[in-house]
Amino acid sequence: MDVHAAAPGRRPAALAAAVGVGAGLFALKVALAWWGGSLTLWSDAGHSLADVVFMGGAYMAARVASRPPSAIMTWGYPRAGVLVGLLSAVGLVALSVGLLAEAWLSWLHPTRPVVWTMIVGGGVGLVANLAVSHRVRPAEPHSHQDLNLRSAWLHLISDAATSLAVVVAGLVIWSTGFLRADALGAAAIALAMAASSVGIIRDGWAVLMEAAPAGLSLDAVAGSMAEIAGVESVHHVHLWTITPGEWALSAHVRLGSARTLQDGQAVVRAMDSELGRRYGIHHATLQIEVEDGAGDDVASHEHQVGSRDGASGAHGHGARPADAPRPW
């Protein structure tokens, strides 16, 4: 079975299960933290609450993202998950700052927690989060193809790590009597929460700002387009991210020798094929232009990035002064 084909159907169910597990863990950790007085366990409970809120939002985003496009929402709703992931990550950073402040106060004024509550609460959280994260795990965890699912998975992995920190802090206090291990555990949880959020914030911001895909060179894409037979130059090139893993491109393509509609269509088909095969770009809008004999200079176009004349540089790009700004 194709993992990518099966994933959309199982994602909402997996996220719904994560919400239920997170709510149960939050209740358990709050009860144990109140009984045992552990700041590390309180921090872990706060992380679980953040997970419940985020997983609920991710579940709703997954349902919304499955809706088909409409006359108004012509791209559909794929960015719903991006928005939820971004807001959740920002919320986690804010929560981590508060936990760091509490950890500092606990370091200055350490108290003895009930150790067994830390070990039990952390151990249950570790096992439960690892089990749920296996269900939510994206087909390609290190890719950017589903920011909503990837951020949910990272939340669960981060929560499992924080539960492990609770267990370790409890064992340290039990074996050595070092009470400040509770404050150190809380600080470690706060830093882990912030660190897991940085990449999500960066990727979500890039998508909402319609940045070019990371790792995809606009020069290389435009150069490949300019090398198609019959293309004189490429300009007004724009490349942006619709949603992680889905990219769009628009460009003006000047043809040097085409004189019929069939000639232009043949170039467009070749260019679409090259963009899809080589770069994974399947949403390309190409405006064809032909020489009209009126002396229109291609170099006068803003955003010119490709040319097949004798002055072409690397990838067939038109030459320009060394101190000239980038043309797109």
User: For position 292, what pLDDT does the model report?
Assistant: 59
Domains contained in the chain, number? 2
* Residues 135, 233 contacting (CB under 8 angstroms): no
pLDDT at 89: 81
Comparing 103-112, 276-285, 294-303, the range with the smallest average pLDDT is 294-303
What secondary structure, in 3-state letters, does the chain show?
CCHHHHHHHHHHHHHHHHHHHHHHHHHHHHHHHHHHCCHHHHHHHHHHHHHHHHHHHHHHHHHHHCCCCCCCCCCCCCCHHHHHHHHHHHHHHHHHHHHHHHHHHHHHCCCCCCHHHHHHHHHHHHHHHHHHHHHHCCCCCCCCCCHHHHHHHHHHHHHHHHHHHHHHHHHHHHHHCCCCHHHHHHHHHHHHHHHHHHHHHHHHHHHHCCCCCCCCCHHHHHHHHHCCCCEEEEEEEEEEEEECCEEEEEEEEEECCCCCHHHHHHHHHHHHHHHHHHHCCCEEEEEEEECCCCCCCHHHCCCCCEECCCCCCHHHCCCCCCCCCCCC
Q: Categorize the per-residue pLDDT at 237 as very low, low, confident or very high, splitting at 50, 70 and 90.
A: very high
Q: How many other C-beta atoms lie within 10 A of the C-beta of residue 278?
A: 11
Look at residue 1 and tell me whether its pLDDT is greater than 60: no
| Same domain? 32 vs 173 | yes
Question: What is residue 39's predicted lDDT score, i.e. its pLDDT?
Answer: 86
Q: How far apart are CA 41 and CA 28, in angstroms?
A: 10
- The reported pLDDT for the residue numbered 47 is 77
Does a structural domain hold residue 190?
yes
User: Domain of 303?
Assistant: 218-316
Write down the pLDDT at residue 20.
86
Domain closes at, from 179, 208, 237: 208
Mean pLDDT value of segment 234-260 = 84
Query: CA 103 to CA 50: how far, in whole Å?
Result: 18
Provide the mean pLDDT of the chain.
Answer: 77
Residue 12 pLDDT: 66
Structure-model confidence comparison of residues 249 and 295, the more confident one: 249
Give 268 or 199, the one with higher predicted confidence.
Answer: 268
Is 80 exceeded by the pLDDT of residue 117?
Answer: yes
- State the pLDDT at residue 147: 61
| Residue 175 contacts residue 56 (beta carbons within 8 Å) | no
Please indicate, yes or no, whether residues 197 and 254 belong to a single structural domain of this protein.
no
Q: Rounded to an integer, what distance in angstroms lies between the CA atom of residue 296 and that of residue 299?
A: 9
Would you say residue 312 lies in a domain?
Answer: yes
**pLDDT surpasses 70 at 312:** no
Statement: residue 2 has pLDDT above 60: no
Split at pLDDT 50, 70, 90, the class of 238 is very high
Q: Is the pLDDT of residue 99 over 80?
A: yes
Exposure on the CB side of residue 241, measured as CA atoms within 13 A: 23
pLDDT of amino acid 131: 86
Is 262 found in the same domain as 305?
yes
Kindly state whether residues 34 and 174 are assigned to the same domain: yes
Among 27-31, 97-101, 247-251, 260-264, name the one with the lowest average pLDDT: 260-264
How much is the pLDDT for 124?
Answer: 92
State the CATH number of the domain containing residue 203.
1.20.1510.10
Q: Is the pLDDT of residue 28 over 80?
A: yes
The verdict on residue 38 lying in a domain is yes
Lowest model confidence (mean pLDDT) among 120-134, 141-155, 284-298: 141-155
Q: Does residue 324 fall inside a structural domain?
A: no
Confidence category of residue 111, pLDDT binned at 50, 70, 90: confident
For residue 321, what pLDDT is reported?
A: 36
What percentage of the chain reaches a pLDDT higher than 70?
Answer: 79
- pLDDT of residue 313 exceeding 70, the answer is no
pLDDT band at 317 (very low <50, low <70, confident <90, very high): very low
Could you tell me if 300 and 182 lie in one domain? Answer: no
User: By mean pLDDT, which of 21-25, 60-64, 229-233 is the weakest?
Assistant: 60-64
The residue-averaged pLDDT of 12-27 equals 82
Q: What is the mean pLDDT of residues 194-214?
A: 84
Query: Does 153 share its domain with 119?
Result: yes
CATH number at residue 275: 3.30.70.1350
